[in-house]
């Protein structure tokens, strides 16, 4: 088995403080693999320290929701709450995963297959 990675310092701030006591995001459109990026030129004043960290991370380019969560050491549920707020305030833009119905599954699967096969 893989040796355990060093545990992250959890810090003193409890998750519900980070989210202002909320357990659910303001929008339910965020999937774990929804791609998010920071909207450039937005002021960070008034944002909580956690939201600033999200913005600093997302300024570099697109990341999925779960990657933001992993890089910042936050649970995905907390990350979704923060990202939803930042989408609402115009700081973050989202590029959702293509819903299944919009792209023929067979075509998408073929692309996945071609991509995997081309690796070797």
Partner 1 sequence: MGSALVSDRVYVADTVTTAVKILIVGHFAVGKTTFVGTLSEIRPLRTEEVMTQAGELIDDLAGVPDKTTTTVAMDFGRLTLSDSLVLYLFGAPGQKRFMRLWKDMMQGALGALVLADTRRLDQSFDIMSVLEEHGMPYAVAVNQFDDAPVFPEAEIREALDLLPETPLVICDAREAESSSKALISLVEYLRTLTSQEQR
Helix (H), strand (E) at residue 22 = none
Q: Tell whether residue 54 is a contact of partner 1 (CB under 8 A).
A: no
Count of residues that interact with partner 1, criterion CB under 8 A = 47
Q: Which member of 26, 48, 66, 93 binds partner 1 (CB under 8 A)?
A: 66
Decide: residue 48, CB within 10 A, 0-12 exposed, 13-18 middle, 19+ buried. middle
Q: Tell whether residue 13 is a contact of partner 1 (CB under 8 A).
A: no
Copy the structure tokens of residue 21: 């006591």
* CA atoms within 13 Å, Cβ hemisphere of 89: 20
> Under DSSP, is residue 94 helix (H, G, I), strand (E, B) or coil?
strand
Q: Tell whether residue 69 is a contact of partner 1 (CB under 8 A).
A: yes
Copy the structure tokens of residue 40: 């450039």
Minimum Å gap between C-beta 48 and partner 1 is 18
Q: Under the rule (CB under 8 A), what is the footprint of partner 1?
A: 1-2, 5, 31-35, 56-57, 59-64, 66-67, 69-71, 74-77, 95, 97-100, 103-106, 108-120
């Amino acid at each position: 088995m893989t040796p355990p990675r060093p545990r992250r310092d959890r810090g003193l701030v409890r998750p519900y403080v980070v989210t202002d006591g909320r357990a659910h995001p303001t929008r339910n459109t965020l999937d774990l693999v929804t791609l998010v990026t920071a909207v450039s030129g937005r002021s960070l004043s008034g944002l909580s320290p956690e939201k600033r960290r999200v913005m600093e991370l997302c300024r570099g380019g697109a990341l999925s929701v779960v990657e933001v969560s992993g890089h910042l050491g936050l649970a995905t549920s907390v990350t979704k709450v923060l990202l939803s707020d930042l989408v609402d305030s115009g700081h973050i833009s989202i590029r959702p995963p293509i819903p299944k119905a919009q792209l023929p599954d067979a075509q998408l699967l073929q692309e996945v297959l071609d991509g995997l096969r081309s690796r070797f």
